[in-house]
Each structure stands twice: as structure tokens, then as C-alpha cells.
Amino acid sequence: MATVTYDQATRIYPGSDKPAVDKLDIAIEDGEFLVLVGPSGCGKSTSLRMLAGLEDVDGGAIRIGDRDVTHLPPKDRDIAMVFQNYALYPHMTVADNMGFALKIAGVPKAEIRQKVEDAAKILDLTEYLGRKPKALSGGQRQRVAMGRAIVREPQVFLMDEPLSNLDAKLRVQTRTQIAGLQRRLGITTVYVTHDQVEAMTMGDRVAVLKDGLLQQIDSPRSMYDRPANLFVAGFIGSPAMNLIEVPIADGGVKFGNSVVPVGRDALATAADKGDTTVTVGVRPEHFEIVEQNGAAVAALSKASSDAPAGLAVTVNVVEELGADAYVYGTVEVGGAPKDLVVRVNGRQVPEKGATLHVVPQPGETHVFSTSSGERLAD
């Protein structure tokens, strides 16, 4: 087991003037499950491949434990990689596939057999050891690929979208299995995915990348509760956080017909930048409905004199999930229509075409600079 350190690690592909990975700084703890996530092309695979030794490092360094591995060949790094396309050898049995790397390394037969049997037990593959890959389900093949990595007892596991070939249901099952397995084995793991749900459910910590730049690294909970900038705010969470540009008002921000209080520090920072608006983030579950079709729902609406409080949302679509429902609607902000998603109680679902008035729940706003995208205070 070991720590993994990216120290200002940079990769610039030949012929490109922009780094694919730009001065990446990440310190991964011994035994930690770290997920690299971000949209396609953000540099996740490149970062992983730099750690694997499959990609040159053009600046900075990468360390595994105390060893500087920046320029070591892959075979000397003590890592094992599970790829998206797990490429099992079709003519070999499961056991031979799992033990192949050990055989190449000259490990005695009896020892290979023992290690393969141990790994098969952990992965629930014992009864399939004599089969060929074509006689396995997708999930079983995926576990064989995991087994191949486990038998090598590496210091670090590297996984590049290992679930992307599985169907949706199997993906959910397998992600729980992999996360559980990693915790049992305690082997430091770096895992790449474009799927933020996968990242949030599997990682001890999640690192969000965009355009080769690290945006935030945090526990899933902190990432959700306190996104560092507009990009992370919009990327983490499903349905995504609502991000609404609103004018700064005395003591808060103008939210339709209401002034919603937000931290003074945030407003002061925005004013220092010369901004007259901020972008307020509200998660779908953090709205309070103060009026529905003209009828007051909560006491809050008493704040209004004539006009109802908050933002008026015209309901376009309601997605019922049982306990809850998501209302997809339109609001008018600054004279332009904008989509908004509100989570409501599944037993009090508004009709299509209805008008809701909503305000954020107290303390559940995220305030970002409209100009720079950065989070302003808490």
C-alpha cells in the first residue's frame, strides 16, 4: 500500500499548445479511493495514464509512496490497471487469464494457483475458473478483469471507466462491489469516470477536472454541499443545481418579488469586483413553495403585499418518482425565460401549466460570482 502524489504534474501532447493536464496537484492517502471525474476531454484518462507510466510527464512529478516514478517504466511502478475494455484472452480459462501476469513474471505455479483461488473467492468466481470468457456474463468478465489486477497485489489500483461496458442495472451492482472490495483490500485506488453519480457513490474523495485543470477535490458530501465554483455546482448533482443570475439588493439578492438574504461577505466580494449581479445556486430539493396557483402554501408568503413572494415558475413537465416528484418549469429572470427544477412532495404534485411561487429554503443558497464563477464566501 502507498500514497500517490501528483506534484504539479503536466502533460502537453506533441503538437498541442495547451496542456491536456495542467499542473495537477493531488495528494492521495494510503488506502484511499480517489475518483477523477469530469466531462469528456477534461484530462482524466491522461492523468491516470501518467500515473501508470503510459503517458509522458512534461512537467512536475508523480510519486508512489516515497518513490519518484515520474520516468519509471510501467512495469516498475507496482500498479495494476483495469481498463474500460478489459480485453480478456478468449482462448484462456478464467484462471489462466487471472494468473497470466504472474506467470509472465515467473511466479511458481503453486503460488499462482493459490493467489488465483483466493482472488476468485473474493470475487465470487470460484465456480467459473475453468470457463472461457465467452461463457461468462458481462458482469463476470468484469470481475475477472478485477481478479487479474488483484492477484498482482499492487500498491495502487488504476481503473479507467471499468463499468462502462455494463448495462445500467449491472453497473449499479458492480460499483457497490468494487467500492466494497477496495475497502476490504485497502489498496490505494485511482478511478476515472465521466459519471458524477458513480464518482459520488464510490469515492472517499472526488477530484473534478475541467480543461486539464483541477476544479475541486473533496469528499462527496463537501463537494455537494459546498461546490467551489459554478462549474462544479452545475456538474455535481442530478438533476443539476439551478443557477440563476440575480441582481444584488440591499441585504441580499432579488429573487423575483422577494429579497433573499445571503452572506454579507459574499455581496461585499461581488461589489468589490464591480458586479451588480451574482449567480445564486439552489438545489432542486431546497426550494420552498410559497404559493401554488394563487393559494398560499407556507407562512412565508405573508411577506408579500400585493405581489406573491419569490419566483413564479410555470410548470412544464412533472416527473413523478413516488415519494417525490421533480417539477420542470420555466421562470422569467431579467426578461428572459430560464429552466428551473423543483423537487416537490409526491403527494402534492402540481399540474402542468400551473404556477408555483418558490423561494430558496433559508441558508440553502450558494452564491457565485457571475463574472469569475468562483464561490463567494459560505
Least distance from ligand ADP to the Cβ atom of residue 301, Å: 46
Among 141, 139, 155, CA closest to 67: 155
Residue 44 found at the interface with ligand ADP (CB under 6 A) = yes
Find the binder of ligand ADP among 43, 133, 310, 350 (CB under 6 A): 43
Least distance from ligand ADP to the Cβ atom of residue 375, Å: 23
Find the binder of ligand ADP among 40, 134, 221, 321 (CB under 6 A): 40
Residue 158 found at the interface with ligand ADP (CB under 6 A) = no
DSSP letter (8 states) at residue 48: H
Least distance from ligand ADP to the Cβ atom of residue 8, Å: 17
Residue 41 found at the interface with ligand ADP (CB under 6 A) = yes
Least distance from ligand ADP to the Cβ atom of residue 166, Å: 19
Q: Identify which of residues 20 and 259 has a Cβ nearer to ligand ADP in the complex.
A: 20
Region from 37-45, 273-281, 308-316, 365-373 binding ligand ADP, contact rule CB under 6 A: 37-45
Residue 205 found at the interface with ligand ADP (CB under 6 A) = no
Least distance from ligand ADP to the Cβ atom of residue 86, Å: 17
8 Å CB contact between 149 and 52? no
Grid coordinates representing 25? Answer: 496537484
Query: Strand locations in 29-169, DSSP E?
Result: 33-37, 59-64, 67-68, 79-82, 156-160
Residue 19 found at the interface with ligand ADP (CB under 6 A) = no
| Parallel, antiparallel or unpaired: strands 33-37 and 188-193 | parallel
Least distance from ligand ADP to the Cβ atom of residue 20, Å: 3
Residue 46 found at the interface with ligand ADP (CB under 6 A) = yes
- Looking at the DSSP bridge assignments, the partners of residue 330 are 314, 339
Residue with cell 506533441: 14
User: If you compute the radius of gyration of the chain from its CA atoms, what whole number of angstroms results?
Assistant: 25
Residue 38 found at the interface with ligand ADP (CB under 6 A) = yes
Residue 256 found at the interface with ligand ADP (CB under 6 A) = no
Residue 189 found at the interface with ligand ADP (CB under 6 A) = no
State CA 336 to chain mean position distance: 31
Residue 17 found at the interface with ligand ADP (CB under 6 A) = no
In sequence order, which residues have a C-beta less than 8 Å from that of residue 336 and are 6 or more positions away? none
DSSP letter (8 states) at residue 66: T
In sequence order, which residues have a C-beta less than 8 Å from that of residue 318 and are 6 or more positions away? 325, 326, 327, 328, 349, 350, 351, 352
Least distance from ligand ADP to the Cβ atom of residue 205, Å: 18
Residue 216 found at the interface with ligand ADP (CB under 6 A) = no
Q: How far apart are CA 125 and CA 144, in angstroms?
A: 8
In sequence order, which residues have a C-beta less than 8 Å from that of residue 324 and are 6 or more positions away? 285, 343, 344, 345, 346
Distances (CA, A) of 74 to 55, 78, 154, 239: 10, 8, 12, 40
Find the binder of ligand ADP among 20, 129, 187, 376 (CB under 6 A): 20
Least distance from ligand ADP to the Cβ atom of residue 14, Å: 7
Q: Note the residues at the interface with ligand ADP (CB under 6 A).
A: 13, 16, 20, 38, 40-46
